[in-house]
A and B are shown apart, each in its own frame.
Chain A
Amino acid sequence: MDDKPDKMAIIVFSGTVDKLMAVSTLSTGAVAMGMEVNLFVTNWGLIAFRKGDYQQNMKISKDFEEFREPMMAAMQAKKVPSWFDTLTQAKELGELHVFACSQTMELLDIKQTDLEDIIDDTLGVAGFIDKSRDAKFTLFI
């Protein structure tokens, strides 16, 4: 085995369920394949990480808004776990770190205690860039 795992970095900018599902699914796959995953949660992404928010979040990307109802209905009918539950499982599975963007927190008066416990720490942009500088790939979602 390699001594240091490969890294994946994701900047979680969006707060809509469709994109958050992409974040949680990709994170799970990466962790399962032995990668270390670092998420930087910023802007609308951070809104979606406020305590309990994921239970009510029914937002979906504006450009595919007409799919909101059928998508939500299908997810319910097929018992698809929420993006948040999938992400929580990914964290139990391996190396997944979630960082909240300090700028957004400052701007919207959000404290780390207002956020879900899955958030490990608060970071500035330079701190995150430093953590992900040796990432195999970085995604902006």
Chain B
Amino acid sequence: MLDVKDVKVDKELDVRGSFCPGPLMELIRAVKMAPVGSVIAVLSSDPGSSKDIPLWIGKAKFEYLGAFPEEGYTRFVVRKTH
């Protein structure tokens, strides 16, 4: 089982309070700027993110490391594989 604590996150974005499509936009921007191989986490309180973020990661063909629910928000983790 992959544990969130085992994943070394290179960049963490806190976009809690931002609404659809804000969290996804922020994530896309961060992934674009990050070097290949880096792991990016985004903290979102938008309920739409749990569908939107994995969908986008799949479409962009990056590696989805998972969604980790916290108190009032979720941490989504992605690896920029290419």
The residues of A with any CB-CB pair to B shorter than 8 Å are 1, 25, 28-29, 32-34, 78-81, 86, 89, 93
Shortest Cβ-Cβ A-B pairs, 4 listed: A28-B21, A33-B59, A32-B56, A89-B25
The residues of B with any CB-CB pair to A shorter than 8 Å are 17, 19-22, 24-25, 28-29, 52, 55-56, 59-61
Complex: chain B residue closest to A24, CB-CB? B21
Instruction: Provide the bound-state CA to CA distance between A33 and B59, in Å.
Output: 7
Complex: chain A residue closest to B32, CB-CB? A93
Q: How many A-B residue pairs have CB under 8 A?
A: 31
Interface centre among B21, B24, B52, B59, by most chain A C-beta atoms within 10 angstroms, is B21
Shortest CB-to-CB span from A93 to chain B, Å, is 6
Q: Is the Cβ of A78 less than 8 Å from the Cβ of B17?
A: yes
Instruction: Provide the bound-state CA to CA distance between A81 and B15, in Å.
Output: 13
Q: Is the Cβ of A93 less than 8 Å from the Cβ of B28?
A: yes
Shortest CB-to-CB span from B19 to chain A, Å, is 6
Instruction: Provide the bound-state CA to CA distance between A47 and B59, in Å.
Output: 36
